[in-house]
Amino acid sequence: MYNFRKTATLAAAIAVLTSGAVFADDAELTVFDWAGYEDPEFFQAYIAQHGEGPTFAFFGDEEEAFQKLRSGFRADAAHPCSQSVPKWIEAGLLAPLDTSRITRWDELEPSFRDIEAYQRDGNYYFVPIDWGNTAIVYNTDELTEADLASLQVFTDPQYEGRISVGDNVDDAYALAFLATGVKDWTTATDAQFEAASAFLRQVHPNVRTYWADGASLAQLMQSGEVLFAWAWNETFSTMSYEGHPIGMTRNMAEGSSSWVCGYTKLADGEGSEDKFYDFINAWLEPQTAEYLVGYWGYGHGNAAAMAAMSTEDLAAVGLDSTEAHQANTLWQAPVPAELREKMIAEFELIKAGF
């Protein structure tokens, strides 16, 4: 059984979530990433080889990352999620992978690795690294799972100013499509998109703030400002480690959402190609998978490593994959480019109160 109580290592990892824009070590490899993924426990084999971790630069969401890369920002690796990868390929931001240099390529979860949208002309562009759920996390001193039986609770006026939704277009629209009866957003009609947007406008008055990262959401929930949120496994896991009254439920009538993110090789990277593959290979080590699951509450792209873990341990962090949950899940698969651009534009208007 994993030790689901936090050690000083995780405390340090959470602390760096509030760090600056650049976390510099190895100048020969720059990774453009979500804050928090500079945790050295994710790439111990890389540090053993090179004596230090790579240099990290951070983004708040994938659209910000996309625009920054389009404007000329240089890095060697980036960490987008599944919905963004086709757009990044189309824009020429990504270089094809040499999968022969990824030592555990054959151990990756095929349903993530082999998605056609991540390939072009016989080449792969995406290494699935981490996956998880977006569901309701809540203060167990104030609410029960029964209080959160439906996603319509996000529009309940009694919770005005007491909820939070991620400042992330994909998670926000996953919530909205689910709440309005859509579980496959890849085929969403204009009418379904309008209904989802109308739902988010109903939710907006109840939003205390749109959280930017797991650490900021944890602070809001610890202070009591936010009673429940649409959030990732990380918030439940880290707050549980620290002994806070926190629960996570995927048992809403309308369902929950799931996602996968991973590393890509940037086309304009000027760093060491050898170190890029060393970094990827370090991430795919079983010890990294165990750390990601046990301390962050996320699933790992290495299916062989995940299969070696007990179902009890996976269930403890909400990563059990029962048929009932699969059937009641919106998988955040890549959506048509036109729909995604509409989602991005509309979400900005909604957050601004329009």
Per-residue confidence band for 18, with pLDDT thresholds at 50, 70 and 90:
very low
Options 3.40.50.1820, 3.40.190.10, 3.40.50.150, 3.30.750.24; CATH for 8-131+260-319 is: 3.40.190.10
Domains 8-131+260-319 and 133-258+325-351 fall in the same CATH topology: yes
Contacts of 275 (CB under 8 A, 6+ apart): 26, 28, 29, 46, 50, 54, 76
Distance of alpha carbon 269 from alpha carbon 124, whole angstroms = 17
Mean pLDDT, residues 54-71:
93
CATH class assigned to 133-258+325-351: alpha beta
Contacts of 149 (CB under 8 A, 6+ apart): 251, 252, 253
Distance of alpha carbon 58 from alpha carbon 37, whole angstroms = 9
Average confidence score pLDDT of the chain: 90
Per-residue confidence band for 24, with pLDDT thresholds at 50, 70 and 90:
confident
Report CA-CA distances (Å) from 338 to 133, 151, 186, 344.
25, 26, 11, 10
Mean pLDDT, residues 23-41:
92
Per-residue confidence band for 318, with pLDDT thresholds at 50, 70 and 90:
low
Per-residue confidence band for 241, with pLDDT thresholds at 50, 70 and 90:
confident
Query: Over 50: is that where the pLDDT of 4 sits?
Result: no
Mean pLDDT, residues 293-306:
92
**pLDDT tens digits, residue range 324-333?**
556 689 999 8
**pLDDT tens digits, residue range 84-105?**
999 999 999 999 999 999 999 9
Distance of alpha carbon 58 from alpha carbon 306, whole angstroms = 28
Domain ranges of the chain: 8-131+260-319, 133-258+325-351
Query: Over 60: is that where the pLDDT of 12 sits?
Result: no
Query: Over 90: is that where the pLDDT of 321 sits?
Result: no
